[in-house]
Amino acid sequence: MSPLTRRQLLALGAAGAGAAAAGGAGLWWTGGDGPLAGGGRELVQPEVLTGRDGILDVTLDASPASVQVGGRRAELQAFNGSLPGPTLRVRPGDTIRATMTNGLGIPTNLHVHGLHVSPQGNGDNPFVSIAPGESFDYEFVLPADHPPGTYWYHPHRHGHVADQVAAGLYGAIVVEDPDSVPVSRERVLVVSDLTLDGSGNLAEVSPMEQMMGREGETVLVNGQVRPRATAAPGERELWRVVNACPSRYLRLSLDGQDLRLFGRDVGRLPAPVGVTEVVLAPGNRVELLVDTREGTSTLVAAPVDRGGMDGMMGGTVPGDGPGNDEPIELLTLGVTGAPAGEVGPVPAGPPLRDLRSAPVAARRTLDFAMGMGGRGGMGGMGGSGSMMSFTIDGRAFDGGRTDQHVRIGTVEEWVLTNSSPMDHPMHLHVWPMQIVEDGGRDLGEPVWQDVVNIPAFGRVTVRVAFEDFGGRTVYHCHVLDHEDLGMMGTVEAR
């Protein structure tokens, strides 16, 4: 991997700035001084699909769709014509049978992000490719002890992931908790972003935006621009928040309300934890308990510094940085009226499993890196050329190569290092990760996630229990442009 020169970075920055200027006419924003087109409508929940007798049969049609967004028509791509797609609601032990049809002009497939299900055959298999006009029958069998929580689904056909998620192909999955918590209501909040041109079509993405990881000009909640929700004082709501943005990090806060973190990515916490803000990397989910107080509050996504290319040269590069530099108002919550009745205490959840005392069968180090040269992303499954390489352990993704061989029934420790100047959120399919050390700091309580952020020039240590399932799947950066450009590897459990 050849190092980036100052001249190369300046050229990349100029190319990105020029492309942004050429494609920006008619764009519209939800932050800063831009118009909040169509904001203020009542928050709408996605359609909910539930099963019967332990089976959820669904058809997911991925096709172009003309969708009302922010008071205007947007020509996007969507599941079943809705933005987001329907919410799939199941219980531990259920089976999801999903027929996915491809109404797009390019290949696609389906990934059930975070679900602990088999990666083989017609399970959560990232190597499936559904050609245009064809369909594929998936079957996801959840174990009886599957952690409850909020998960999501989206395409995962290498080389097309960022484009298809940015176009609107995503939806939530809720695995219900057998020991439900008393709340006044639940809300699913799928946060996404996109950029439209003046005609309402998806704007072209510049090479610089792909290398940085694209961030859309408009940020949506359930496909809406700054919707409003209402509640009575003294209610307790459960908010299931999904970060479905291809690259954007979300630092969320809700002024004037009592927030408690109920769960993150995988399952619930033993007890809710009071918070003033939460940070979600792309692909992360959180469950928040909102105890309402009278007044009007705004859910805000504050800027997150996820690094930039200037860190490679120690200087500033024109066009560097993803542009997430202003707070964005996502929705407003108006709390008025007569106080609600008592909803009851939150019962304690089960203790979290702790792998720190488990015997470790193997230790591995995986390095996430960026550099000049190569055509990351070709990898035998399609992709696009790039002036930069995006690698794990010095290699771009190759679907025909197996990078890690693990044994079923063992626990491994993986040290995730980042030798680049940008954060990389690492997602491992099928098996959740327990974070045991973050930046040299040991964690006191078990923390389980399926997307783990690796800070620029930082390191994180995780442990993984490779249980229940054999088969072959992937791990990758969940800045989806980086994944498409090659920052992905394969793992096989036997």
Where among 175, 200, 225 does a domain terminate? Answer: 175
Rg (CA), the chain: 22
Of 24-33, 432-441, 461-470, which one has max mean pLDDT? 461-470
Residue 147 lies in a domain: yes
In this structure, the answer to whether residues 170 and 194 fall within a common structural domain is: no
Give the three-state DSSP class for 233: coil
pLDDT tens across 122-170, in order? 999 999 999 999 999 999 999 999 999 999 999 999 999 999 999 999 9
Mean pLDDT of the chain: 88
Residue 114 lies in a domain: yes
Whether residues 137 and 234 share a domain: the answer is: no
**Distance, CA of 136 to CA of 142 (rounded, Å):** 19
Question: In the chain, what percentage of residues exceed pLDDT 90?
Answer: 80
Whether residue 223 is found in the same domain as residue 159: no
Listed residues 150, 175, 200: the one ending a domain: 175
263 and 226 in a common domain: yes
Poorest-pLDDT segment among 243-247, 339-343, 432-436: 339-343
Q: Which of 205, 221, 115, 125 is nearest to 481 (CA)?
A: 205
Which CATH number belongs to the domain containing residue 283 in this structure? 2.60.40.420
The CB density around residue 386, as the number of other CB atoms within 10 Å, is 23
- Kindly provide the residue ranges of all beta strands, DSSP E only, lying in 72-224, ordered along the sequence: 72-79, 87-90, 95-102, 111-113, 135-141, 149-154, 171-175, 185-194, 218-221
Is 319's pLDDT higher than 90?
Answer: no
Element of type H or E holding 481 = helix 480-484
Given this model, what pLDDT does residue 38 score?
57
> Do the beta carbons of residue 444 and residue 393 sit within 8 Å?
no
The reply to whether 274 falls in a domain is yes
Distances (CA, A) of 445 to 253, 350, 354, 356: 24, 13, 8, 10
Residue 316 lies in a domain: yes
> What pLDDT digit, counting tens, does each position of 391-402 carry?
999 999 999 999
**Which residue range(s) make up the domain with 268?**
185-335
Chain centroid to CA 304: 15
Residues 101-113 have a mean pLDDT of 97
Same domain, 324 and 369: no
pLDDT surpassing 80 at residue 364:
yes
The total number of structural domains that make up the chain: 3
Same domain (yes/no): 468, 426: yes
pLDDT number for residue 32? 35
Instruction: Answer yes or no: do 140 and 164 share one domain.
Output: yes
- One domain for residues 160 and 88: yes
Same domain, 166 and 189: no
**Over the stretch 62-104, which tens digit does the pLDDT of each residue have?**
999 999 998 889 999 999 999 999 999 999 999 999 999 999 9
Residue 39 lies in a domain: no
Q: What is the pLDDT of residue 374?
A: 52
Residue 305 and residue 370 in one domain:
no
Q: Comparing 292 with 38, which gets the higher pLDDT?
A: 292
In a domain, 289, yes or no: yes
